[in-house]
Amino acid sequence: DYYEHWLAALENLLSAKGIAGKGDVDALAAAWERAAHATPHGKPILLDNDPSSTKGRSSPSG
């Protein structure tokens, strides 16, 4: 469908420009998926909600 073609084109562009490889894109998509499942209903989905992420947890100030 349209969305899948658009997403594939964006992923190809990111790879061609050397911004992010397929593995990077896949890892980030998986992190968003985990964050979405860990976020309570009605709350904004934040990547910081990914239970597998340790980003921002090492210092109390964030």
| Position 59 in a domain | no
| Position 41 in a domain | yes
| Position 29 in a domain | yes
Q: Environment class of residue 50 by beta-carbon count within 10 Å: exposed (0-12), middle (13-18) or buried (19+)?
A: buried
Kindly compute the dihedral angle of the four CA atoms of residues 43, 48, 51, 55, in this order, to the nearest 10 degrees.
-170
* Domain extent for 29: 21-53
Per-residue pLDDT of 1-33, as tens digits, reads 999 999 999 999 999 999 999 999 999 999 999
47 confidence band (pLDDT: 50, 70, 90): very high
Q: What is the pLDDT of residue 57?
A: 47
Question: Pick the residue with more confidence: 54 or 3?
Answer: 3
| Position 60 in a domain | no
Q: What is the pLDDT of residue 55?
A: 64
| Position 5 in a domain | no
User: How many domains is the chain partitioned into structurally?
Assistant: 1
| Position 7 in a domain | no
Question: Pick the residue with more confidence: 39 or 57?
Answer: 39
Q: Does the structure show a pLDDT above 80 at 61?
A: no
